[in-house]
Structure 1
Amino acid sequence: MSAASPSLDHAADLAAFVDASPSSFHAAAEVASRLEQAGFVRLAEGEAWPSAAGGRFVVVRDGAVIAWVAPASATAATGVRIFGAHSDSPGFKLKPKPTTGRLGWLQAGVEIYGGPLLNSWLDRELRLAGRLVLDDGTMALAATGPLLRLPQLAIHLDREANDHLALHKQAQTQPVWGLGEADSADLLGELASAAGVDASRIRGYDIVTADAARGAVFGRDDVFFAAGRLDDLASVHAGVVALERAAGSGDAEHIAMLAVFDHEEVGSATRSGAAGPFLADVLERVWLSLGADREEQLRSLGSSWCASSDVGHSVHPNYPDKHDPVVQPVLGSGPILKINANQRYATDAEGAAAWNAWCQAAGVSTQEFVSNNAVPCGSTIGPITATRLGIRTVDVGIPILSMHSARELAGVSDLWDLTRVAEAFFSA
């Protein structure tokens, strides 16, 4: 692969995006920053929204952001193309009274967020990141550098560790971050210092862990990309890049929209999750700004699409029995169409046909994903969005290995190809 290839340039930009997005709140802020630099206008929920053509976005409700491009030809019955993704990832979240420790070690009190591969968090330098809410109600984003580590027990002290490694979710998942006694230290003070605020003003916080290592390209011919939070920042990044390109590509026949939700890893049932009202509220306000009545809004939904983009499983060379014996997507062979008979994914025949048409328009190969019948299938925001809005929805994404690890593995070309399909989805 050429050092000047678009896919490698895209991977380098994704590495910068992930590094700037160690929490869902940082991811939403990074999306906003990039869109503002591209000429999009920030809107607030408490203000009237203009009907003029162009790019708009609203950041609100935790780590969620919705952005769109309204063409000059938009009317009260114009449909929408929604590219959906999520900003959160499995890991650990700070508990109340987070400064803990014993035996001369300072530790962080954390609880498990979502379904991480716990062992993957061992022996890595970790960051803390998220939001601090201050005594006047304002919010400050905070992100430390490498600060914590979950040190593994030496093999000399557990000779069977390679046979039965299993972490106790309370006793063995509290990372160290210094030496001393807990009553002489303040973990929130470290975060306040990183945010440039007075620790005594902190009244609330949502803080998570993130891998401190930057994303990297490696492997023969630079085919692999590894980073934390690829589930689902790979899709968020693809959607941002594609929306920026769509904004400058001319007058489309529909409204192009990027919807990034929080809390997917814990069920989406929050005000900023896909099961909440955020997307429906934004859509209604966009159509109202175009003069749409209720009938015209429903007509618009009937001509709209949602492409729910999240990662899926690549076939694993060491565990082939965990995959379908015939349908076996692999890194580097294109984005995936996710299918499940029990509607854990929202894809149906109509969605499959549409996805293949968008891939063809982008000049991108695609693969299918379906679970082994004996292995439970996960889900994502697609079925939730389809249920809430009644909108035609297709579940897609990229294949990865090490899903829910602290550091996940993707194919460099797949990341670029997903962005190209997203652009075709917005523009075709």
Structure 2
Amino acid sequence: MIHNNDDPSDTFYSISSSNETDSDDSFLSLPSLSDDLDAQFCDASKNFNLIHINAQSIPAHFPDMLASFQNKNLHAILVSESWLKPCLPSTSFCLPGFHLIRNDRLSRPGGGVAIYLRSHIPYTVIDFSQQHNSPGAEYFFIEVLFSNTKLLLGVFYNPSLTIDYFLSFEDLLEKFSPLFSHTIIMGDFNTCLLKNDSRTSRFTSNLHILPLSATHAFPNCLPSLLDLILVSSISHVEKFGQCVATAFSYHNLLFLSYKLRPPKAKRKILMRRNFNGIDFESLAVDVSNIDWSGVHDASSIDEKINRFNSLITQLYDKHAPIRPVRLKHLPAPWLTDEVKRLQKKRNIAKAKYRLDPNGTNREKYRKARNRCNRVCRDEHQRHIYKSVIEENDSARVWNFLKSLGVGKQRRDINSQNLSLNLLNQHFSSSVTFDNITKFNTIS
């Protein structure tokens, strides 16, 4: 179910101009969503651990995803209501250590489903819903390989209480589920299993539906069980449940620990020179003592170059030796302690409004949310300016722009379909850009 959590009238302010103070910091002692997930998965490191979240916009809540989903034992994040569009590149919303696999809604705002899967786990896309003008259920199914065991992993989102998706969902399960040793499907089905009505009676499946309490509670509305976990084997379920996820929507986060052992991540090790440890005084002495006569006496240009490179390499090996470097997936450096503190304060304010939806609690939540949003924007922009623009490094600027989807995109071209007239028309009308010298703002 879609509720707009962002006020379009919010005004952007600088963090330095904020005069707001916190009168009560008692909320800092309360556990965060990240703490809840750590507690659930800390003793299940050998299992396949996954969650489902109704995000109601990955772009709007991406800082919360970075802060909440850093658990090293988390292997997959299934997302309903991703709200991604083709114009938004995946590189802008990748979580460290994960592949982003997505199926965007094209015809209307909102919607969309996505799967974040650990980058070291192999997968194959099996099937996904076709985005068209008529509303319908949205889904994404992938095959995940665990040694010799194949798992069908799916995320399912039904956008409306009026859409009849039951037969099509049954057909999907009958088509694909028998082909796999195990099946796990999670999602927002928008069918309340707490009710005993005709819609609930039509929801049938040959999979096991794990018992949950109400997963959705909007202020002044009755709680409902809309988000579900379906599995093929109860005996493989180590643990499951739900957590409040106020940072995202009024839907609970669902978690599951399934007894299949995922492959271990291989640490990436690169051989890099240690330039940070150079003793420049000692380097200067060694450079002054180099005997260059062998370079001058060489009989050919090629020999001169080889001898020169050999002398320089000896200097490198002595003063900046090659060493193994392990690559780490670091969280966003702009996600500061202050941003995380304000995220927790906003979540507490939203939880209070959810329990007691009066005007005072709503206003407190709105102010906490707006302040968190503007501080987060400020920190993000400050990081971009300092690390990309202020360094005056054109390579870093272009790498940053490519991460946003700006610049040349690789395209597959079938040479048999090329027309010489069309090529001539393209190059004769191409626009050239001579000067791009200054970035005033980064959105």
- Length-normalised TM-score, structure 1: 0.21
Greater share of strand: 1
